[in-house]
């Protein structure tokens, strides 16, 4: 059954772009250069979180002497090199879903834990800069996911009540935030499968954006 909705908010990394494996590799390399090994469970906790939250997670896992500022700079450099070589890999179904939403005149936004300037850079590299009516980055709200702030701000900019907004997310923090905002959370998991608790918060869980397109009846 088609659900009523007036707008769609997209997460970015792991949902629109297949960038999480690239990020994991960058953190592996950067940590190895400083004499540390990336704990996969630590990386999974980092997924979907803002820079301050990632910083807190890493310092908690590796100790206060971790050169976190230098590591963060190195990771950004490694990702930049990867994007220069490979471009930004687009997830299957994204372009078809955006085309269908545009044809139906349904406004779309991005709400990402990534800082706003980085979001725009990724969208530009992927040729999608003009496809979104609003973009909200993690540095534009006081609380990142799993707080609802990013989604509430996206809905405010779209001038759509949260209850009429579908939020597409790949991460547990994102689904928790969308649920807390009173939106309609739909999960397309990436690297981390949802827990039973988060699965219950999601309106639906689908393997790809193509399945979302079918479900929305566009």
Sheet harboring 165-169: ordered strands across?
Answer: 134-136, 108-111, 7-10, 165-169, 184-187, 204-205
Q: Which of 11, 149, 170, 190 is catalytic?
A: 11
Active site residue 149: no
Among left, alpha and beta (phi > 0; psi -120 to 50; other), residue 9 is beta
Q: Which of 13, 149, 170, 190 is catalytic?
A: 13
Active site residue 11: yes
Residue 135 is classified by DSSP as E
Q: Compute φ and ψ for 208, nearest 5 degrees.
A: -155, 165
Q: What is the spatial distance between Cα 151 and Cα 174, in angstroms, rounded to a whole number?
A: 9
Answer for the pair 171, 194: CB distance below 8 angstroms, yes or no.
no
Enumerate the active-site residues: 11, 13
């Amino acid at each position: 059954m088609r659900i009523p909705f007036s707008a769609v908010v997209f997460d970015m990394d792991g949902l629109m772009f297949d960038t999480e494996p690239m990020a994991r590799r960058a953190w592996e390399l950067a940590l190895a250069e400083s004499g540390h090994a990336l704990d996969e469970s630590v990386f999974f906790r980092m997924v979907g979180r803002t820079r301050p939250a990632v910083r807190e997670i890493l310092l908690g896992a590796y100790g206060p002497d971790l050169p976190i500022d230098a590591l963060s700079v190195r990771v950004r450099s490694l990702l930049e090199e990867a994007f220069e070589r490979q471009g930004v890999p687009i997830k299957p179904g994204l372009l078809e879903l955006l085309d269908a939403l545009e044809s139906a005149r349904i406004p779309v936004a991005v709400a990402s834990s990534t800082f706003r300037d980085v979001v725009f850079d990724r969208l530009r590299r992927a040729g999608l800069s003009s496809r979104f009516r609003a973009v909200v980055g993690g540095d534009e709200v006081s609380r990142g996911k799993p707080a609802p702030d990013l989604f509430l701000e996206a809905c405010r900019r779209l001038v759509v009540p949260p209850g009429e907004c579908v939020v597409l997310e790949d991460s547990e923090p994102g689904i928790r935030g969308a649920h807390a905002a009173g939106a309609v959370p739909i999960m397309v998991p990436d690297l981390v499968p949802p827990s039973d608790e988060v699965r219950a918060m999601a309106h639906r869980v689908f393997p790809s954006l193509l399945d979302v397109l079918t479900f929305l009846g566009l």
